[in-house]
């Protein structure tokens, strides 16, 4: 589960695990100079990438259904469009 934008106290934070990563030395030096929390920045980037990858996977898994739905709308128009006021 991804915890983003949530205010959590010390007792409700998700468990953490130390890990080793390789980072561009120039980026690392600049981040340290600016006081960036490297762990939190990496965690946010990873959460963002997970979100993108899940969306891509969902679109790939549902490609046929989306294409079918789009083809139906192209042939038949939007359902209930006659009731639209605009």
Q: Specify if 8 maps to a domain.
A: no
Residue 79 and residue 72: Cα distance in Å, rounded? 10
Q: Specify if 80 maps to a domain.
A: no
Tell me: the pLDDT tens digits for 16-66?
A: 999 999 999 999 999 999 999 999 999 999 999 999 999 999 999 999 999
Q: Specify if 84 maps to a domain.
A: no
Predicted pLDDT at 34: 98
Cβ neighbors of 31 (< 8 A, separation 6 or more) are 38, 41
Q: Is the pTM value of this prediction over 0.85?
A: no
Question: Under the phi-then-psi rule, with left for phi > 0, alpha for psi from -120 to 50, and beta for the rest, what region is 5?
Answer: left
Residue 76 and residue 11: Cα distance in Å, rounded? 55
- Whether the CB-CB separation of 66 and 59 falls below 8 Å is answered with yes
Q: Specify if 33 maps to a domain.
A: no
More confident residue, 2 or 44: 44
Band of pLDDT at residue 5, cut at 50, 70 and 90: low
């Amino acid at each position: 589960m991804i915890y983003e934008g949530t205010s959590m106290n010390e007792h409700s934070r998700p468990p953490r695990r130390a890990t080793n990563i390789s980072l561009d030395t120039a980026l690392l030096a600049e981040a340290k100079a600016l006081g960036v929390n490297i762990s939190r920045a990496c965690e946010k980037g990873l959460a963002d990438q997970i979100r993108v990858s899940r969306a891509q996977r969902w679109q790939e898994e549902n490609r046929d259904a989306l294409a079918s739905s789009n083809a139906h709308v192209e042939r038949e128009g939007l359902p209930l469009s006659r009731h639209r006021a605009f």
